[in-house]
A and B are shown apart, each in its own frame.
Chain A
Amino acid sequence: MSLRRIMLFSRFERFWHWTQVLLIMTLLFTGFGIHGFHDLLDFKTQVSLHTAGALGLLVLWVFAIFWHLTTGTWRHYVPTTNGLLKVARFYVYGIFKGERHPYRKAYWRKHNPLQALSYLALKLILFPAIWISGLIYLFYPVWGGAASGETLLWVAMIHTAVAFAILMFIIIHVYLLTTGESFKDHVMPMINGFDEVELTKEEEAYLEKDEPQNIR
């Protein structure tokens, strides 16, 4: 076993991540604007941006889902209880004692168990909740005629509640970037794709032989 810098976040994954950042930020900003929390843009612009952003994000997600399935990357998100408590204990206690993070990234397991579980929840619960409620909201004219005037209220409520939850995720997600050696160390992998990973001999040998550009 040796610690090596390898290409962990491929070009598409980084594109997906940062486009998603841009779109989600736009959606949160315009969404809360439409909701009435601010009027920094006029309503028409907010609605147009929100709709365009949402449709863009849906297209991106279609590609991302396809990518997860075809590349097998979905395996990074399979939940496990193995080491989960250790990581949780680290964040509520060990981190203050200066302990080392208990998790080592592996070639086929780049997220720690807590991280994997929260990303999985984000992808399987919050994201579907926001896009399903969003599409129902967007296509209100298709079903709204026959529905009671109050129905939209419930759709809007779910959509808003999930938006709050996603905002909370973002806060903790960004905060956790500060918990490593440095903020930069945590961000760089998502920029140049390279991160330190504990490789088995076989993995290391494979990468050095077949994908030398992906290992430093």
Chain B
Amino acid sequence: MRSIVVAFLTASLIMAANVQAEQKTDVDMNFRLDKIVEQPTQRSDSNSTADHSKFEDLKVEFTSGPEVTKACLKCHTEAGHQFMKNIHWTWTYENEKTGQLLGKKHLVNTFCTNSRGNEGMCAQCHAGYGWKDESFDFSNQNNVDCVVCHDRTGTYYKAPSTTGNKACSIMFEGKQSIDLTKVAQNVGLPARENCGGCHFYGGGGDGVKHGDLDSSLIHPDKKLDVHMDEAGLNFACTQCHITNKHVWTGSRYDVIAKDTEGTGKPGQRRDVATCESCHGLQPHPVNSLANIKLNNHVDRVACQTCHIPTIARGGIATKTDWDWRTAGKTKDGEGYKEHNYTQGNGVHRATYKSIKGDFKYGENLVPHYGWFDGQMIYTTIDTVFDPSSGPIKVNRYTGSADDENSRLWPFKQMHTFQPYDKGNNTLVYMHLWGDDEDAYWGNYDFGKAIKIGMEKNNLPYSGEYDFVETYSYWPITHMVAPKEDALACAECHAKEGRLQGLQGFYLPGRDSFHWLDIIGLLAVGLMFFGVFWHGFIRFVTHKARKQS
């Protein structure tokens, strides 16, 4: 009897501990949960000639990140300055074609809206140490975080650089401390979980932003991604996003929507991450009429359109709708969450958070399709718009059926209601993160959060805010399915197919001249009618003649 009681008490204690652990680790905000990287993935292409655990410079007790970086730079003398040109460091991208200043440092998005001013939280995904405000030194190469990308132990993680309001900071408590020496001695080429540590969690949680990037790609099977398939090709991100002096290819700020060069000359192209750079410009084997026809599609249809039939296929949902208008509700003065969505892998996702508002999710989603020439036009913080003219596209892809450099591309479409400056008709920066009276996350006051968010960056604010409906578009290029799962022709070549809403071009099977069909069918009908009566009269007159 006593043993039963002891067992029961022990079980209860373990359960209580689990519940507590669950509360601390929020799946909607779990940047590199320890359990995900318990087993680091193996890179199939590593052929390093050095064992970093044998380097004397790394056999020391490291107490801070910059110390590790200093040690790295002793041998990798150019790596620091090379990396400082990388967008992962600058968070700035100046688009030469449009003149727009882009990058996380500047943009407003349709999720948590702005990292600008919230670096204390958001710069967890900056590949540097200690960016919390405008005082961060971007010219000090010791601030580069080498190990966040090169750690191969799976134990390294980043935490917010400042303590936010307790409503949020609780999520980052109780994490294991990092053995920096062990990490430094076990560096290697980045694998999926390194890049994924941030890119799988964009938008504030697993799979939230992209739909084609989430933690299911750490250990994917072939069905989920034919290239990253752990039991097969087991590609790391950088096998497509090839690098040259610490700058890599395949930025969504500068998309190559149509690669006309293909595999290029002997040797490897180092300038693009396109499908064509490996598969060539005639990617289907020329052994049947159908395949020749498929190759004929390459000029107008991106590979991704057919070969990524749906997104968020790995059991992890992506966010499709975000409504900031309902944020700020409290229970007994405290913020709360509701978890009313259960995703494919069984995990419950928040459908309401006081700090963010209401969400909707999608899995196995059919993407949104559009003509894309690779150019994105952003509604930036200084773009004035007319809120009465319908939803605002925070980023808008350009391209058209008439433009031979455009191809049909899949996108994840995100639908949001977010705050804007009602007087100036611009988007706003919000002061979300902070242990102060104005931060939205903790105080739930949009008025204050916007006022401070704008003030901090010397931006005009009318003092009046409202909510505007927005859309954003994320080009889809990951979760490439095996060829047998590629779209069948009739998915698009049909009256009510996937491209139903796209105009300005003739799509066989979908389009027809309605009046031509009517005239044609009428004429054929009349012909039948005519020969029927001709025959009938012949029959009747023949009979009549016979009788007489």
Q: Would you call B494 and A160 a contact (CB within 8 A)? A: no
Q: Can you name the residue of chain A whose Cβ is closest to the Cβ of B288? A: A48
Q: Would you call B506 and A35 a contact (CB within 8 A)? A: no
Q: Can you name the residue of chain B whose Cβ is closest to the Cβ of A47? A: B293
Q: Can you name the residue of chain B whose Cβ is closest to the Cβ of A148? A: B402
Q: Would you call A171 and B527 a contact (CB within 8 A)? A: yes
Chain B residues near A150: list those with CB within 8 A: 504-506
Q: Can you name the residue of chain A whose Cβ is closest to the Cβ of B522? A: A164
Chain B residues engaging chain A, CB cutoff 8 angstroms: 288-290, 293, 296, 299-300, 400-402, 404, 488-490, 493-495, 504-506, 508-513, 516-517, 519-521, 523-524, 527-528, 531, 534-535, 537-538, 541-542, 545
Flag A148-173 by CB within 8 Å of B: 1 or 0 each. Answer: 11101100110011011101100110
Contacts A44-B290, A98-B542; is A144 near B489 (CB within 8 Å)?
no
Q: Can you name the residue of chain A whose Cβ is closest to the Cβ of B406? A: A149
Q: Which 9 A-B pairs give the minimum distances between C-beta atoms? A: A149-B401, A149-B505, A164-B520, A43-B489, A153-B506, A175-B531, A141-B296, A152-B506, A145-B404
* Interface flag for A26 (CB, 8 Å): no
How many angstroms between the C-alpha atoms of A140 and B537 in the bound complex? 48
Chain A residues engaging chain B, CB cutoff 8 angstroms: 34-36, 39, 42-44, 47-48, 51-52, 95-98, 140-141, 144-146, 148-150, 152-153, 156-157, 160-161, 163-165, 167-168, 171-172, 175, 178-179
Q: Would you call A156 and B506 a contact (CB within 8 A)? A: yes
Q: Would you call B524 and A171 a contact (CB within 8 A)? A: yes
* Interface-central residue, B400, B494, B505, B535, by most chain A CB under 10 Å: B505
Task: Report the minimal beta-carbon distance from A59 to chain B, rounded to whole angstroms.
Answer: 15
Q: Would you call B524 and A51 a contact (CB within 8 A)? A: no
Contacts A52-B289, A145-B404; is A160 near B512 (CB within 8 Å)?
yes
Chain A residues near B510: list those with CB within 8 A: 36
Chain A residues near B512: list those with CB within 8 A: 35-36, 156, 160
How many angstroms between the C-alpha atoms of A11 and B404 in the bound complex? 50
How many angstroms between the C-alpha atoms of A167 and B528 in the bound complex? 11
Q: Would you call A171 and B531 a contact (CB within 8 A)? A: yes
Task: Report the minimal beta-carbon distance from A54 to chain B, rounded to whole angstroms.
Answer: 10
Q: Would you call A51 and B511 a contact (CB within 8 A)? A: no
How many angstroms between the C-alpha atoms of A44 and B288 in the bound complex? 11
How many angstroms between the C-alpha atoms of A149 and B403 in the bound complex? 8
Chain B residues near A146: list those with CB within 8 A: 404
Contacts A43-B490, A48-B288, A146-B404; is A35 near B538 (CB within 8 Å)?
no
Q: Would you call A48 and B289 a contact (CB within 8 A)? A: yes
Contacts A42-B490, A44-B290; is A145 near B299 (CB within 8 Å)?
yes
How many angstroms between the C-alpha atoms of A164 and B523 in the bound complex? 8
How many angstroms between the C-alpha atoms of A10 and B237 in the bound complex? 68
Q: Would you call B505 and A152 a contact (CB within 8 A)? A: yes
**Interface residues of A, dominant DSSP:** helix
A/B interface sample: 20 pairs, CB < 8 A: A34-B509, A36-B509, A36-B512, A43-B494, A43-B509, A47-B290, A96-B537, A97-B545, A141-B296, A144-B300, A149-B402, A150-B505, A153-B505, A153-B506, A156-B506, A160-B512, A161-B516, A164-B523, A172-B531, A175-B531
How many angstroms between the C-alpha atoms of A214 and B283 in the bound complex? 56
Chain A residues near B516: list those with CB within 8 A: 157, 160-161
Q: Would you call B535 and A178 a contact (CB within 8 A)? A: yes
Q: Would you call B527 and A172 a contact (CB within 8 A)? A: yes
Contact of A161 among B296, B300, B520 (CB under 8 A): B520
How many angstroms between the C-alpha atoms of A168 and B77 in the bound complex? 80
Q: Can you name the residue of chain B whose Cβ is closest to the Cβ of A155? A: B506
How many angstroms between the C-alpha atoms of A167 and B493 in the bound complex? 24
How many angstroms between the C-alpha atoms of A167 and B401 in the bound complex? 33
Q: Can you name the residue of chain A whose Cβ is closest to the Cβ of B403? A: A149
Q: Can you name the residue of chain B whose Cβ is closest to the Cβ of A174? A: B531
Q: Would you call B508 and A168 a contact (CB within 8 A)? A: no
Q: Would you call B290 and A48 a contact (CB within 8 A)? A: yes
Task: Report the minimal beta-carbon distance from A80 to chain B, rounded to whole angstroms.
Answer: 25
Given A140-B296, A150-B506, 18 other A-B residues pairs in contact with their CB atoms under 8 A: A34-B509, A35-B517, A44-B489, A96-B537, A149-B505, A149-B506, A153-B506, A156-B512, A157-B513, A157-B516, A160-B520, A161-B520, A164-B520, A164-B521, A164-B524, A165-B523, A171-B531, A175-B531
Contact of B524 among A35, A97, A149, A167 (CB under 8 A): A167
Q: Would you call B299 and A175 a contact (CB within 8 A)? A: no
Chain A residues near B511: list those with CB within 8 A: 153, 156
Task: Report the minimal beta-carbon distance from A41 to chain B, rounded to whole angstroms.
Answer: 10
Q: Would you call B538 and A179 a contact (CB within 8 A)? A: yes
Q: Would you call A160 and B513 a contact (CB within 8 A)? A: yes
How many angstroms between the C-alpha atoms of A141 and B290 in the bound complex? 14
Chain B residues near A152: list those with CB within 8 A: 505-506
How many angstroms between the C-alpha atoms of A212 and B538 in the bound complex? 39
How many angstroms between the C-alpha atoms of A143 and B495 in the bound complex? 26
How many angstroms between the C-alpha atoms of A140 and B289 in the bound complex? 15
Contact of B490 among A39, A52, A175 (CB under 8 A): A39
Chain B residues near A149: list those with CB within 8 A: 400-402, 504-506
Task: Report the minimal beta-carbon distance from B496 to chain A, rounded to whole angstroms.
Answer: 10
Chain B residues near A39: list those with CB within 8 A: 490, 494
Task: Report the minimal beta-carbon distance from A171 to chain B, rounded to whole angstroms.
Answer: 5
Chain B residues near A144: list those with CB within 8 A: 299-300
Chain A residues near B509: list those with CB within 8 A: 34-36, 43
Task: Report the minimal beta-carbon distance from B166 to chain A, rounded to whole angstroms.
Answer: 57
How many angstroms between the C-alpha atoms of A140 and B508 in the bound complex? 12
How many angstroms between the C-alpha atoms of A157 and B545 in the bound complex? 47
* Interface-central residue, A35, A36, A48, A171, by most chain B CB under 10 Å: A36
Q: Would you call B524 and A42 a contact (CB within 8 A)? A: no
Chain B residues near A171: list those with CB within 8 A: 524, 527-528, 531
Q: Would you call A47 and B504 a contact (CB within 8 A)? A: no
Chain B residues near A179: list those with CB within 8 A: 538
Contact of A51 among B289, B300, B401, B520 (CB under 8 A): B289
How many angstroms between the C-alpha atoms of A144 and B301 in the bound complex? 13
Contacts A156-B508, A164-B523, A171-B531; is A44 near B488 (CB within 8 Å)?
yes
